[in-house]
Structure 1
Amino acid sequence: MARSLVVLLCALAALAASENPLLSQLENIDVDAVLADPERVDAAVKCFLSDTDDSCNTRAKVIKGLIAETLKTNCAECSDNQKAGVAKFMAHIAKNKPEEMKQLLAKYDPKGEALAKYGDSWREKGIIV
């Protein structure tokens, strides 16, 4: 029993000390390569808008799981590189797929709280909503 408790405490300490492992997966995404491939963009948007993960690849599932929290905090836990990638992707969607952008905001920010709080910051990054 004591041994199990020690193992559990060590695991919790390690988890608390590490950065968000899901968020770290955003670090290696080549956003320019994704944006250069309309099929990949469409697949990502389809995944993000879907109520299930059936249409999502592994990485898109991870990102989908982060969207709501990222919107709530304006990507506060993101590295500068991750913030730039998220902004670039969202600016592309806002410019080239405005209806899908509206749907994403309706799904992940239904009360408009993130838009009201961070809208000016988003517009400065080219995310026109």
Structure 2
Amino acid sequence: MARALLLLVVLSVALYVQAAPPPAKYTNKYDGIDLDRILRNDRILTNYIKCLMDQGPCTSEGRELKRTLPDALETDCTKCNPNQKTAADKVIRFLIDNRRKDFDRLEKKYDPSGAYRKRFEATLQKQ
């Protein structure tokens, strides 16, 4: 689940996935972004969260994220490269530590059964 929620933010900023056919890997087009700057900017981060929650407009990256997020969650980010997985973990941890209410809302929408959270927690235990 943590990877999933991180993908909510990271993919909206860091990933651009071609619509059809699905690629073997997500693009690395946004791997060089300054993720810390985004996480420190409440306005930008809030806009991405609103997009994901269908409560505000989306950037093109946000729209792509909403389209690809179910696949990323279902496959445990297997199409992510190592940088994207690291970024996803960072965003999830940030949301849990600093924006817990937003994390909980995103989790309720994108992981209502808790299946992805269980996978993420199992991954954390292995680290």
Q: TM-score, normalised to structure 2's length?
A: 0.69
Aligned in 2, Cα 1:124/1:55: closer, same or farther, shift over 3 Å? farther
User: Equivalences for 1:76-91 in 2 at 5 Å?
Assistant: 76-91=78-93
2:39 maps to what in 1?
35
| Counterpart Cα distance in 1 of 2:108 and 2:46 | 18
RMSD after superposition? 2.4
1:58 maps to what in 2?
60
> Would you say the 8 A contact 1:27–1:81 is kept in 2?
yes
- Which is helix-richer, 1 or 2? 1
Deviation of residue 43 (structure 1)? 0.6
Higher Cα radius of gyration: 1
Ranked by relative contact order (alpha carbons within 8 Å, sequence separation 6 or more), the top structure is: 2
Q: Which runs of 5+ in 1 are unaligned?
A: 1-14
Q: TM-score, normalised to structure 1's length?
A: 0.68
Letter in 1 for 2:112: P
- Percent of residue pairs bearing the same amino acid type: 22
| Counterpart Cα distance in 1 of 2:92 and 2:82 | 15
Q: Which runs of 5+ in 2 are unaligned?
A: 1-20
